[in-house]
Each structure stands twice: as structure tokens, then as C-alpha cells.
Amino acid sequence: MNVLDQCLHSYFTFNFPNSLQDELATTLLHQCRESRYTVQKIIETGGDNEAVLFEALNVNDEIQKPDHLPAAGSEESLVRKPPSSSNDEMMDDLDEMIFGKKARLNQEKRLYGGESSFYSPIRVYVYDMPSKFTYDLLWLFHNTYRETSNLTSNGSPVHRLIEQHSIDYWLWADLIAPESERLLKNVVRVHKQEEADLFYIPFFTTISFFLLEKQQCKALYREALKWVTDQPAWNRSEGRDHILPVHHPWSFKSVRKFMKKAIWLLPDMDSTGNWYKPGHVYLEKDLILPYVPNVHLCDSKCLSDSKRTTLLFFRGRLKRNAGGKIRAKLVAELNGSKDVVIEEGTTGKGGKNAAQIGMRKSIFCLNPAGDTPSSARLFDAIVSGCIPVIVSDELELPFEGILDYRKIAVFVSSSDAMQPGWLVSYLRNISSSQIRLKQTSLAKYSRHFLYSHPAQPLGPEDLVWRMMAGKLVNIKLHSRRSQRVVKESRSICSCECRRPNSTSPVPFS
């Protein structure tokens, strides 16, 4: 048995006689200190093995303490036993140990730290596609930006929608910038395909959808499909290591089924099947990215000056399709409630200003589902310092492997929200201390949703690559497996996660 095995095994399973306990515990702690690095590695790589995480975190707590030892049997006893009450309490305690104050410094250093938080950067090859897929579309967007008469069927400005879904531009702009101007260190652009971990497809699918004629757009989609699928790297992996930005649910829709094994950059999973088909999208393969906020950041001065007198605020289109039908029902339920403001959204600069002012004057901002489970309004609320109240039972959130949205938002099931008087009563019962904690977290979290050039550490571009790092091993597994398995020789299992997401309110202490 090596030093670490002895440390963990003895520390948690042996019952020492009182006469030997202090001496032996001192020796074991000395050995644990020598194994500090290994203990940290267990914490970082423990995955879902809660037993290992629990034990390693206990050891880690002790090796961070000064050399003195507490008396046996005291409240500060070396052996900290898990709670013996309900399973929920045990999970809460484990969650606090992993994500709470005691682990926060180590977690933030590992997840949010500098260059040392990654062993090596992700290497990305950016395809040099013909200009009709890239620069020509950017110029088309630029040259028609002032045409405010260009609206969608529901009256939304086309260019505003393109900006909301412009994640393809922000990622591409950072990747192709000169290294001397880039701030992100966890991703590098490589110029040889054999050196790449991932391949980025720089096709502006949203711009082409909104600004080209329908048949012209479909023809361009078919050309892009052929260009990409003709590449040797695509055929080697069947596209599994290729990144395809299809953030608007209508973009690239006519041909994307032929690229369903690629990594799609999405606003959500859309379980209705109206926009993204079942079997084409799932969390193990794809990545959820935030919309680009439509309002300006409420900075520290704005937050301190804000007089938030409205309990709950919503401004937007009240009637939506598919999963967004709950909006109209919520409006009927909430209209007339004291300290609640529900307004029909309007387009243009005036509508944007009204939404921004309303959010900055409100404690909570209502975020029901749109045409898909997600809505850009969620990210407008976050950067406005308004606590989101999420009423979207099947919403998947960006970067949830890194960010804990429970710290900044309130999650409410649709069935609860529709009960007469329930939602307003629930919000009024949230304590002022809980509200302050969430507002403080909002001020910290807002940086994770602000796209910029150059891309900033901890910004959304940065978190994309941190999330991608977690997919690399699985991507290589399935790519290599597909290369050696004879077609039709066995059934190929799928990673699709079929278990539906669900939302229920969490009681406040």
C-alpha cells in the first residue's frame, strides 16, 4: 500500500486507541501533506464518484490546517463524519464541500485560474473557406445594417436577431487574431491539420439565413456542406471533431442533418423538435452558448445607484409559438398584481431603452420560454443585475459545467407558476439576505456573458474552450473507434442523453 492509500485508508477506517491516536494521526497527516499534489488530483478528477470526492476533500481540509491537532472527540475532531440525516441533507453537505467556501479557492483557481489551470491549450484549425461563406457575408451585414425596415414576420429587426446569435463572429474573430493581440491562453490556432484537436467551420449561417433570398440561401448551404464534407479531416472523423455554429434555430436547417455528428453551437436543446431534431443534438456532443445581450452592462456604479422598487418585471412579445405558449398564460395570471410590471415589447431603440430601464428598476425579471426553451432576455437580466426567474421546464444553460446558476437565478416549474397567486407569493417570501447574495453573484457572473474583442479571460469565448476541453477525450474515443470498426459489424451506441430536464423550485433557508 502506497503512502496515499495508507493515508486515506487509515484516516477514514481505523479506530485508534486513545493512547496512540494523536501520535498516529500526526504521522498520517505528515504523510498526507507529502501527498498534497496527489490529493488535489483526486479532487479534480473524481468525476461523479461522490465517495472518493468526500474522502479526498476531508483529507484536503486537514492538510491545509496548521500542524496542531484538535483533541480527540472535540467538535474539531480530525475524522469528520458525513451527516446522518436525510439523503437531501447529505447531498447538500457534499455540494457545499465541493462548491462552497472550503473548496471555492481551489475550484476557482482550477476553473478560473490563469495559464496553469490547463495542462495544454486546445489546438484549433480554422478552415480557410471561400469568402462567400465568410467575409462576403460580413460585408453584406455591415452594408445593410441601417435598413430598419428589414423585419421578420413577427416584427423583430433582422439585424438585432443576427447580433443576438452572432457567436460565430466572436469565436472566429478571436481565433484568427494575431497571437500578440490575443488574451486567451487555453486555445491556440494551428496551421497544420495534423496538429489540430478541433476544426472550426467559419460559416456565418445566421447572416445568410436572414439576409439572402430563400433559394439563394439554400444553394449556399448546399455549397458549404459539400465544401466541408469534402475535407480529408472531416472524412477521417466523420465530423466529430468539427465545430459548427448553428446558434439561430433556423440557420443551416435544410442541410444540417448531414452534419449531425459535428459539435453544434446552440442556444438550447429544443426538446419540442420544431427547430433541432431528436438525435441531432444532445449535451454530450454539443455546446450551449449564451445569446449576445441586447442591453448595456449595469456596472458596479449602476448597481449601487439602482433603486429596485419593482418586484417582478417582464417586457417582450407576449405571444410565442410552441414551448413559448406559457407566456400568454403567465401574463393572464400576473396582470394586475401589485409591484409586478408586464409589458408588450416594442422594436427599435425605444424598446431597448424601456427594457433596460425596467430591468434596472426591478428585483426579479421573468424569463419564460420563447419559441424555444431559451430566450435572450435571460442574459439581458443577468447583465442588468435583475435576478432571473426562469419558467422553462426544459431549458439547458450555457457553461453549466462551470457556472452554478442557482447562485444567480430562481427556478420555477411551469405548473407551480400557473397556480393563482403562487409565483408572486413565492418571490415575496425570498429573504432580503438571499436577494443580496444573488445580486452580489450577478455582479460577478455578468462577465461570463459579455462577448468582446479581444476576447477576455472568463468571458464566454474563454468558457467555450474550457467546456470543449471536457469533450476532447470522448471525441477522440468515438473518432478512433469509428475508424477501426467495420461498418455494420456491430451496433454503434449513441451518447444521446434521453432523460428530460426538469425544473422545480428550491426552498430558501
CATH code of 408's domain: 3.40.50.2000
Between CA 103 and CA 206 the distance in angstroms is 41
Judgement on whether residues 316 and 344 belong to the same structural domain of the protein: yes
What is the pTM for the complete model shown?
0.72
142 lies in a domain? yes
Q: Looking at residue 309, what is its pLDDT? A: 94
Judgement on whether residues 90 and 41 belong to the same structural domain of the protein: yes
∠ CA 65-67-70 to the nearest 5 degrees? 80
155 lies in a domain? yes
491 lies in a domain? no
Judgement on whether residues 273 and 218 belong to the same structural domain of the protein: yes
Between CA 55 and CA 39 the distance in angstroms is 10
Q: Which domain holds residue 393?
A: 300-449
423 lies in a domain? yes
Q: Looking at residue 74, what is its pLDDT? A: 38
497 lies in a domain? no
102 lies in a domain? yes
Judgement on whether residues 142 and 267 belong to the same structural domain of the protein: yes
Judgement on whether residues 133 and 211 belong to the same structural domain of the protein: yes
Judgement on whether residues 249 and 394 belong to the same structural domain of the protein: no
Judgement on whether residues 173 and 283 belong to the same structural domain of the protein: yes
Judgement on whether residues 433 and 287 belong to the same structural domain of the protein: no
Mark which of 68, 83, 112 sits at the end of a domain: 112
498 lies in a domain? no
328 lies in a domain? yes
Block means of pLDDT (10 residues each) for the chain, length 509 residues?
45 45 53 54 53 54 44 37 47 55 55 50 96 95 75 67 92 95 94 95 94 94 97 94 93 92 91 76 93 92 89 81 67 85 76 90 89 83 95 88 94 90 95 95 95 95 95 88 69 51 51
Q: Residue 210: which of 280, 137, 139 has the closest Cα? A: 137
Judgement on whether residues 182 and 252 belong to the same structural domain of the protein: yes
Q: In the chain, how many domains are there?
A: 3
Judgement on whether residues 81 and 139 belong to the same structural domain of the protein: no
Judgement on whether residues 399 and 436 belong to the same structural domain of the protein: yes
Judgement on whether residues 196 and 323 belong to the same structural domain of the protein: no
